Structure 1
Amino acid sequence: MPSASNPHALSMLVRKLESIAHLSDEEREAILSLPIRVQALPSRQDIVREGDRPSQCCLILDGWACRYKIVGEGRRQILSFHIPGDIPDLQSLHVHTMDHSLATVTKTTVAFIPHRALLDLTTRFPNVAAIFWRDTLIDAAIFREWMTSMGRRPAYGRIAHLFCEMYLKLEAVGLAAEHRCTLPITQTDLADALGLTNVHVNRTLRALRGDGLITLQHNTLIADRWDELTEAAEFDPTYLHLENRAAG
């Protein structure tokens, strides 16, 4: 299918970028005019694999994706979760060989944006280039926070911290409110992301529910006691650098 402009689809990218920085009207229109190829993908499918040299970036329009690596004996380490508005492989613009894989977690709709179009956009609009750079720096901040969690926080705090992070990311792009959000990840996904066993994840979720901090039902997370959840997580949202929470 040839690439074509799709302003409705690209509005998700605009919303994401405006959650971390300011866009002018001209910059917004230039982003909405990017050529894209939209594709619906099933759950648990690779979008790009480690070792690939892609010529396009992937914008998540609907659903969830994750970055991951496979280590000895086929064990998976999830490196990050991604939601609508994210471009998880933006670094492929300048780091040409993928050093990890990107896959869908749920049924996911993605928009592929040619590298040449993104490079032209950032040449014409240096502020957009700076915002993309800011986005990758925030990604690095999230990686540091995950490393801190896995190295020093107990399982209770690790899971609580991830829940706080994903809620605020979803809220920032208008996909969550009132401490309720979609959470379509399995206990195995949590274990692979947080360096825990499935049994440990299950036991910790029961503890979080038993303490009245959360409710999990039908792929929905409800933070029943948000302040207590953030306290248990030692959660400080500064590292997310959100300029406009719940802007949409």
Structure 2
Amino acid sequence: MLLDRGMQPSGIHVLLDGWACRYTMLVDGRRRIVAFYLPGDVCDFDVFLLAGMDQTIAAITPARVAVVDAPMLAGLAIDHPPLTQALWWESLTAAAIQRAWTLNVGQRSAKQRIAHLLCELYLRMDRVGLVQDGSCALPLTQFHLGDACALTSIHTNRALQELRRDGLLSLEARRLTIHDWPALVDLAAFDPAYLQLSKEPGTSGDSAALG
């Protein structure tokens, strides 16, 4: 566990390697994952404004994490405006992902929810150079996927089976392979604009297209 609910972090945590997630536990023991963190992600930008963590952040795999002291980072941000812009970009992108997740859970079928989440994770992995030949590591169980998409294990398993049967993807040995990206995107009604993948923070030009 990286940060537990109620803790007051002394700095921000940057995931260097591995996977992590943010979740909330209900009083009856049920858990809801509200974010996945991949290499390069800032896990707890809210440390600057909140008195304590309102959710828990835990590693899913073995992970390497860098902790940046909050006062030092605040000073650097003042002295280096591009860093401030990069931090705001990180915060705004995280908020956009949250909005997309809310829409995904509220408006899509089980199959579409899983497809949309896998599209997002695939592009985010591609962003940090972890996709090769249409394939990337995906160390998430069906429980993780269902938890993030507000689905039972039965509905999650059924959705994955349908995606495999349709020839859109395969998910074996904790590795995701996309076989028909256009069809998967079409099924999920996936628009990657919210990920801001075509623009680097602090620039006005487009980067190379992903996917």
Pair in the same fold by TM > 0.5: yes
Distance in 1, matches of 2:93 and 2:208, equals 15
Q: What's the CA shift for 1:245?
A: 5.3
Distance in 1, matches of 2:121 and 2:86, equals 21
Matched, 1:87 2:87: no
Q: What's the CA shift for 1:246?
A: 7.8
- Change beyond 3 A, Cα 1:245–1:95: farther
**Alignment partner, residue 27 of structure 2:** 72
Q: What's the CA shift for 1:61?
A: 1.0
Pairing of 1:214-229 with structure 2 (within 5 A):
214-229=169-184
**Alignment partner, residue 152 of structure 1:** 107
Deviation track 1:145-204 (CA, whole Å, cap 9, x = no partner) reads 000010010011100001110111111111113321111000111111110001111111
Matched, 1:206 2:206: no
Task: Note if contact 2:42-2:90 (Cα within 8 Å) is conserved in structure 1.
Answer: no
Distance in 2, matches of 1:237 and 1:96, equals 33
Distance in 1, matches of 2:169 and 2:63, equals 26
Distance in 2, matches of 1:245 and 1:198, equals 37
TM-score (norm 2): 0.92
The partner residue of 2:65 within 64, 87, 110 is 110
**Alignment partner, residue 25 of structure 1:** none
Distance in 2, matches of 1:90 and 1:100, equals 13
Q: What's the CA shift for 1:236?
A: 0.4
**Alignment partner, residue 191 of structure 2:** 236
Q: What's the CA shift for 1:58?
A: 0.9
TM-score (norm 1): 0.79
Matched, 1:136 2:136: no
Runs of 4+ in 1 over 6 A off after TM superposition: none
Task: Note if contact 1:216-1:222 (Cα within 8 Å) is conserved in structure 2.
Answer: yes
**Alignment partner, residue 191 of structure 1:** 146
Distance in 2, matches of 1:63 and 1:174, equals 14
Distance in 1, matches of 2:208 and 2:126, equals 6
Task: Note if contact 1:183-1:221 (Cα within 8 Å) is conserved in structure 2.
Answer: yes
Distance in 1, matches of 2:83 and 2:157, equals 42
Q: What's the CA shift for 1:72?
A: 2.7
Runs of 5+ unmatched residues, structure 2: 200-206
**Alignment partner, residue 204 of structure 2:** none
**Alignment partner, residue 36 of structure 1:** none
**Alignment partner, residue 57 of structure 1:** 12
Matched, 1:169 2:124: yes
Distance in 2, matches of 1:76 and 1:218, equals 25
Task: Note if contact 1:59-1:88 (Cα within 8 Å) is conserved in structure 2.
Answer: yes
Letter in structure 2 aligned against 1:144: R
Paired residues, number: 202
Identity %: 41
Letter in structure 1 aligned against 2:174: N
Task: Note if contact 1:83-1:170 (Cα within 8 Å) is conserved in structure 2.
Answer: yes
Task: Note if contact 2:4-2:55 (Cα within 8 Å) is conserved in structure 1.
Answer: yes
